[in-house]
Structure 1
Amino acid sequence: MGSGAGATASGALAHARPRVAFYGDDFTGSTDTLAAAVTGGWRAALFMDVPSAEDLRRHGALDCIGVAGSARSLSPAAMDRVLPRIFSGLAATGAAVLHYKTCSTFDSAPHVGSIGHAAMLARAALRRTADAPPAPAYIVGGQPNLGRYCAYANLYARAGQDGGIHRIDRHPTMRHHPVTPMDEADLRVHLGRQGLRPWSFDAEMLELPEAEQDVRLDAMLREGADAVLFDVTRPAHLAAIGRLLWARCPGDGPLLALGPTGVVQALLAGTGAGSPASMAAGGADKAQAASGPTAASGGRVSPAAVAQTFIVAGSRSPVTAAQIDRSVQDGFVSVEADPAALARHGEGHDESVVADLVARIVDALRTGRSVVAHTTFADAGAALRPGYTQALAVGSGRLMRDVLARHPLRRVGFAGGDTSSLAVQSWGIAALTLAYVLAPGVAVCRIDAPGQDLDGVELMLKGGQMGPPALFSDLLAGSA
């Protein structure tokens, strides 16, 4: 078995088909889902595209197969070109559940990152015949370990690591998101604008006896609900949701689930040995599923300090800004990067500017210090220009590669969901596997890139809102 998939514990069952196949609409969220799967006991790997037979052979039997994407930054037309092939490929793995992994704050809009449009494409990919009704979509509305809660269909989110909890349309950061500002807290309304009109399975229903929960959900489906949104106000709700989902996995194809890593957390919580949910993996795997999650390490390592690290920060979140400030206090060198030059990097423009930037970073690293390069304090209005965010992210990926080519490092990082997604995609690597969890929502992954100098490098990927102020210093110290 490949080191990324993890060693199977003694007595654990090997599954020919995965329990879950997911597509993450950005990289940082995808690695959070990978971390949840592995720490929950599943063998998992996160691929850059639908894995080939050789990819799967190299990683061995997997309970959870992920594809890290960038749909959060795509228009509906771009989704049309990208997602159908991926959904069909993931469904072909035989997974019991197909999970479209969204950001935990559900930030999206009809014109960019549309969750509703992605759901439509997933439903089309899962249809067995042209006249078959579309599969219902099950939406998990919260993720308590990240401070994300859904109450009576309204989304709430914590501000930063230890901040207060705000309704999403009053959140100090998300209501001002530069691309997809969240101006509506009711997810029924928010997703309705994107063509997805879920019925609410609220917290009171989740407190009912299991038999009554089943009655309520089945009644919704009979009455025409083609999407159901589950509240999540406390961790115990995840187990109830997981039980309901496993029990409704069809035998001839995957169940469609939408939402953050809370989906996988619910599925893990709902697979207790001997429970009805544990028998719902479908077909011949039902008996195997009864054993619950497998005890696999996922190739994890014990965190250890490294001599130095390099981080590229593209997020404009105040959380990331505070992390940059703290890293400077702790001895990092702060280098401000010209975002316009990075956005044109590799196109023959401003190459001398980027070359000078690379030289300054490498010179600082050669003194033995760690470096954080940031576009964080750039003009936020630039993000609204068509194609700018994507170009900046790819340019940031080239910057990281240029630096590592001149000064190899064991551990590096990206801060910013869009930055992480497009930067890493531009590298042409095969997959990521979990090394360790640095903080809630922040995974450190090991790069799987056979034959490349990046193979084995540890990579932190974090969204703008994630992590404590000392996160970058913790990455250097190997804290977890």
Structure 2
Amino acid sequence: MRPAPAVVYYGDDFTGATDTLGTAARAGLRALLFLKTPDEARLARAGALDVLGIAGAARAMTPEEMQAELRPVEALFRSLGARVLHYKTCSTFDSAPHIGSIGAAVRLLRAAVEQPWTAIVGGQPNLGRYCLFGNLFAAAGNGGEVFRIDRHPTMSRHPVTPMDEADLRMHLAKQGLADVRCMPFTAASRGSDALDTALRQALHSPPADAVLFDVVDASQLGAIGDVLWARAQESTLLAVGPSSVVDALSTAMPPSREELQRRRNGARVAQMSLTPASGPVLVLAGSLSPVSARQVAAAVSFDTVWLDAPRLAQRDDATLTGHADAIAGSLARGRNVLACTRTPGTMPSGGGLDAQALARAGGDLLAKVLAATPLRRIGIAGGDTSSHAVQALDAWGLSYIADMGAGASLCRVHSDDAKLDGMEIMLKGGQMGTDDVLERLVHGGIA
């Protein structure tokens, strides 16, 4: 009988889902990310797992669309016997009542677990995300200045879900989570026992919808993990938040026999050095963020193709075919290609383009290029672009290869199509990655 995973997580976009995959793998946990809810045959093929992930696109869905998306996740969690169901959100919590509603996800998934309350972890320090007394702060780019999220130069102006409220309790109340109580970072800083006492007080009558755990420093994650894992042993738990949820739990979860053996031998999970690409690299940059713009500007090893975003968003077949042929031709000549949807000088809003239509067109473009010119390594920038692009591929799973830094991982594609199986793919959100991340995708190196 296959042992149950400890954690099942659903990533509300593909880039975030790979960040959690990398977090679990670097903690020594056996982890695999499925690109849709797996059936029994896929589960058997995956073998024993500590962390089972499902990559999705709920961040770009209406509450009605989320119902169809998340019902299979709920059913899978029940059937596997896992202890924690993690709804993985973006570390900036950007969402709204009408699109990507975290509140709607909680209402849909709460029936799958036994605990009547939901744990929300509010920060991810390794990405420059901090939660203090319920208020979210985020750095502008890797190592950049930290802003309150409602004053963040990018997230406060997000084209789909702008963050206009820093207090996550009020932000989530707009999405139907009326009673979210805060566990201040001062409690976690005093250790697991102090945090557990504070949690018991917070959960005292009347019952809470959810409890938000502040995170200011990575050292607090150990106490949070201890408390949440202990609760999950009593009865199954729904946890919401970025990859710091798995980061916290990994400190308390019992290690696998393989990990125990590594520890006995004095080994640690290696920080793998990324090898140079073995052939031409394609990067599809659909992100409109200033961080991605800096990465594009630093990508000197690529031929840059400026895509006709308005026509692609209108699903113009001639434009799609023309771009695909040009990109495939350059790749066939051994050139690295960077295909960008935002030309220099355009506004971050994208000029009123339908962002979802453009992301779907990006997926169609990638599939068309790979059908003409199979590649061994590709990269995709932008959360929605990544989700739609990977969904356009004939692939069923991803496993971790190496850390690309600041929330980006290089992964191995698992597919029944021999042309795709084993291809390496980097998915990164618009705010993620160092300025040289695209160059390292070509030339390798340690993040």
Q: TM-score, normalised by structure 2?
A: 0.92
Question: Does the 8 Å contact 2:34/2:54 carry over to 1?
Answer: yes
Question: How far has the Cα of 1:376 moved from its partner?
Answer: 2.3
Question: How far has the Cα of 1:215 moved from its partner?
Answer: 1.9
Question: How far has the Cα of 1:478 moved from its partner?
Answer: 2.1
Q: Does 1:314 align with 2:263?
A: no
Q: Mark the CA change 1:300 to 1:232 in structure 2 (over 3 Å): closer, same or farther.
A: closer
Aligned to 2:193: 211
Q: Which amino acid in the other structure matches residue 131 of structure 2?
A: C
Q: Does 1:262 align with 2:244?
A: yes
Question: How far has the Cα of 1:411 moved from its partner?
Answer: 0.2
Aligned to 1:231: 214
- 1:180-236 per-residue CA deviation (whole Å, 9 max, x = no partner) reads 111111111111111113100001111235333222211211222221000000011
Question: How far has the Cα of 1:471 moved from its partner?
Answer: 1.0
Note the 1:382-461 alignment, pairs <5 A.
388-461=354-427
Partner Cα distance (2:123, 2:193) in 1: 23
- The alignment partner of 1:212 has SS state of helix
Aligned to 1:75: 62
The match for 2:295 among 289, 302, 323 is: 323
Partner Cα distance (1:451, 1:323) in 2: 31
Q: Which amino acid in the other structure matches residue 325 of structure 1?
A: A
Question: How far has the Cα of 1:344 moved from its partner?
Answer: 4.4
Aligned to 1:240: 223
Note the 1:42-441 alignment, pairs <5 A.
42-126=29-113, 135-196=116-177, 197-223=179-205, 224-251=207-234, 254-271=236-253, 303-306=274-277, 307-327=279-299, 330-345=300-315, 350-377=316-343, 388-441=354-407
Q: Which amino acid in the other structure matches residue 386 of structure 2?
A: S
Aligned to 1:4: none
Partner Cα distance (1:390, 1:298) in 2: 38
Q: Mark the CA change 1:228 to 1:291 in structure 2 (over 3 Å): closer, same or farther.
A: farther
Question: Does the 8 Å contact 2:7/2:83 carry over to 1?
Answer: yes
Partner Cα distance (2:347, 2:416) in 1: 38
Question: How far has the Cα of 1:37 moved from its partner?
Answer: 0.3
Question: Does the 8 Å contact 1:144/1:232 carry over to 2?
Answer: yes
4+ residue runs of structure 1 moved beyond 4 angstroms? 288-302, 378-385
Partner Cα distance (1:192, 1:250) in 2: 29
Partner Cα distance (2:93, 2:3) in 1: 33
Question: How far has the Cα of 1:112 moved from its partner?
Answer: 0.6
Question: Does the 8 Å contact 1:314/1:374 carry over to 2?
Answer: yes
Q: Mark the CA change 1:135 to 1:295 in structure 2 (over 3 Å): closer, same or farther.
A: farther
Partner Cα distance (2:220, 2:270) in 1: 30
Question: Does the 8 Å contact 1:300/1:435 carry over to 2?
Answer: no
Q: Mark the CA change 1:82 to 1:68 in structure 2 (over 3 Å): closer, same or farther.
A: same
Question: How far has the Cα of 1:338 moved from its partner?
Answer: 1.5
Partner Cα distance (2:9, 2:352) in 1: 29
Question: Does the 8 Å contact 1:47/1:431 carry over to 2?
Answer: yes
Partner Cα distance (1:147, 1:302) in 2: 23
- 1:314-348 per-residue CA deviation (whole Å, 9 max, x = no partner) reads 10001101111111xx2311111112333344xxx
Partner Cα distance (1:298, 1:384) in 2: 45
Q: Mark the CA change 1:117 to 1:295 in structure 2 (over 3 Å): closer, same or farther.
A: farther
Q: Which amino acid in the other structure matches residue 57 of structure 1?
A: A
Question: How far has the Cα of 1:389 moved from its partner?
Answer: 2.8
- The alignment partner of 1:472 has SS state of helix
Partner Cα distance (1:361, 1:409) in 2: 12
State the number of aligned residues: 437
Partner Cα distance (2:364, 2:191) in 1: 54
- 1:109-168 per-residue CA deviation (whole Å, 9 max, x = no partner) reads 1111110110011112336xxxxxx72100111111111110111101111112111111
Question: How far has the Cα of 1:383 moved from its partner?
Answer: 8.1
Question: How far has the Cα of 1:302 moved from its partner?
Answer: 5.3
Question: How far has the Cα of 1:88 moved from its partner?
Answer: 2.1
Question: Does the 8 Å contact 2:292/2:430 carry over to 1?
Answer: yes
- 1:6-34 per-residue CA deviation (whole Å, 9 max, x = no partner) reads xxxxxxxx971111100000000000000
Partner Cα distance (1:298, 1:335) in 2: 38
Question: How far has the Cα of 1:351 moved from its partner?
Answer: 1.8
Q: Which amino acid in the other structure matches residue 140 of structure 2?
A: A
Mean CA deviation greater in 353-362 or 370-379: 370-379
Q: Does 1:23 align with 2:7?
A: no
Question: Does the 8 Å contact 1:49/1:86 carry over to 2?
Answer: no
- The alignment partner of 2:389 has SS state of helix
Q: Which amino acid in the other structure matches residue 246 of structure 1?
A: W
Aligned to 1:465: 431
Partner Cα distance (1:239, 1:303) in 2: 29
- The alignment partner of 1:205 has SS state of helix
Question: How far has the Cα of 1:416 moved from its partner?
Answer: 0.1
Q: Mark the CA change 1:241 to 1:339 in structure 2 (over 3 Å): closer, same or farther.
A: same
Partner Cα distance (2:199, 2:273) in 1: 43
Question: How far has the Cα of 1:393 moved from its partner?
Answer: 1.7
Q: Which amino acid in the other structure matches residue 122 of structure 1?
A: L
Partner Cα distance (1:362, 1:305) in 2: 21
Aligned to 1:130: none
Partner Cα distance (1:48, 1:234) in 2: 32
Partner Cα distance (2:3, 2:271) in 1: 22
Unaligned runs of 5+ in 1: 1-13, 128-133, 272-277, 279-287
| Identity percentage of aligned residues | 45
Q: Mark the CA change 1:182 to 1:362 in structure 2 (over 3 Å): closer, same or farther.
A: same
The match for 1:41 among 28, 38, 42 is: 28
